[in-house]
């Protein structure tokens, strides 16, 4: 994915859900100024809750195809029933949830009774947020696959906006974990900010995503959120980062005002008189020197 090399793509990830990734992404989206913001967590997008965007356009996403049997043409030969590895065909009808879209039944049907049609997998939302900035997010329909393809489409559109509008930053709120949508969101970025928490499961999942990000050879830094709730594990995380030669971008203290902000569907920066907001601002300032790899 090629964009203007003067644009910095910052991807915010976490090895597990609930670490505070979206809270930080929402704050960064307000600090970035000339920016485009994208929420690539297409399975459970929620950044729009905090940014309250104005939706300009909603487009359909067709991630694949699904089989449909034309009952008027079907000869009841049972070829499709016997050949479907996913048991998606019952009584000569295709179960849309079980169908994986492989198209094998479509190819072997002697009566040409099976159609292989594009399948609606989700929607992409093109939005506007304050200060005349673009925000994009997407929602995958329940049970649908091809989340990686939807992330790729989302990033292509966001990157195009960056070039057209001469933006400085592309801020990406990535999906949690290490699955396909995470791999798709990593493509072409300049820097990754990993958000973790001081728990043993947080450290375990941090190690998993670090291994993934290292394979992309991209600049990586880590934030320890709520570092003061378990100083012993926070120290273990810092030792691990030192061993892996990974930058610690900063630590964020536990602050009840973060909870208050989320309950009111606001960014923590809308509550400036608190420790967490000041620490996030310091982390953002430390990222201004990211060197573009292109």
Per-residue 3-state assignment (H helix, E strand, C coil) for 115-165: EEEEEEEEEEEEEEECCCEEEEEEEECCCCCCHHHHHHHHHHHHHHHHHHH
List beta partners, residue 117.
66
> What fold, for 8-62+123-289?
Rossmann fold (3.40.50)
Instruction: Show me where the domains of the chain are located.
Output: 8-62+123-289, 71-112
Cα dihedral sign, 223-225-228-229: negative
Tokens coding 183: 């791999």
Q: Which residues contact 250 (CB under 8 A, 6 or more apart)?
A: 223, 224, 279, 282, 283, 286
Burial of 231 (0-12, 13-18, 19+ CB in 10 A): exposed
Q: In tens digits, what is the pLDDT along the chain, a chain of 294 residues?
A: 444 456 789 999 998 888 999 999 999 998 988 889 999 999 989 999 999 999 999 999 988 888 999 999 999 999 999 999 999 999 999 998 888 889 999 999 999 999 998 888 899 999 999 877 899 999 988 877 778 889 999 999 999 888 888 888 899 999 999 988 999 999 889 899 999 999 999 999 999 999 999 999 999 999 999 999 999 999 999 999 999 999 999 999 998 888 888 888 888 888 767 899 999 999 998 887 665 443
Cα separations in angstroms, 171 against 13, 40, 120, 222: 11, 10, 27, 16
pLDDT the model gives residue 18: 87
Task: Judge contact between 172 and 40, C-beta under 8 A.
Answer: yes
Q: How far apart are CA 226 and CA 128, in angstroms?
A: 31
- Does residue 269 contact residue 27 with C-beta atoms inside 8 Å? yes
């Amino acid at each position: 994915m090629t964009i203007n090399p003067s644009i910095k793509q910052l991807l915010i990830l976490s090895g597990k859900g609930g670490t505070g990734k979206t809270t930080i992404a929402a704050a960064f989206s307000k600090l970035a100024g000339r920016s485009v913001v994208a929420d690539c967590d297409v399975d459970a997008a929620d950044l729009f809750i905090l940014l309250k965007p104005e939706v300009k356009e909603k487009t359909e996403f067709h991630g694949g195809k699904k089989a449909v049997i034309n009952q008027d043409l079907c000869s009841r030969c049972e070829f499709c029933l016997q050949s479907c590895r996913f048991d998606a065909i019952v009584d000569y009808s295709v179960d849309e949830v079980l169908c994986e879209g492989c198209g094998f039944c479509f190819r072997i049907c002697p009566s040409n009774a099976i159609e292989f049609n594009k399948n609606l997998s989700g929607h992409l939302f093109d939005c506007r947020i304050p200060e005349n900035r673009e925000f994009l997010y997407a929602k995958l329909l329940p049970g649908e696959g091809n989340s990686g393809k939807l992330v790729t489409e989302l990033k292509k559109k966001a990157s195009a906006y960056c070039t057209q509008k001469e933006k400085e930053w592309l801020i990406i709120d990535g999906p949690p974990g290490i699955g396909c949508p995470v791999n798709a969101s990593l493509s072409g970025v300049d820097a990754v900010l990993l958000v973790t928490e001081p728990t043993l499961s947080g450290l375990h999942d941090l190690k998993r995503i670090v291994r993934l990000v290292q394979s992309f050879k991209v600049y990586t830094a880590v934030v320890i959120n709520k570092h003061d709730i378990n100083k012993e594990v926070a120290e273990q995380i810092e030792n691990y980062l030192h061993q892996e030669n990974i930058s610690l971008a900063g630590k964020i203290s536990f602050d009840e005002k973060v909870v208050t902000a989320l309950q009111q569907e606001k960014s923590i920066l809308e509550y400036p008189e608190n420790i967490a907001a000041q620490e996030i601002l310091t982390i953002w300032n430390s990222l201004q020197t990211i060197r573009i790899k292109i």
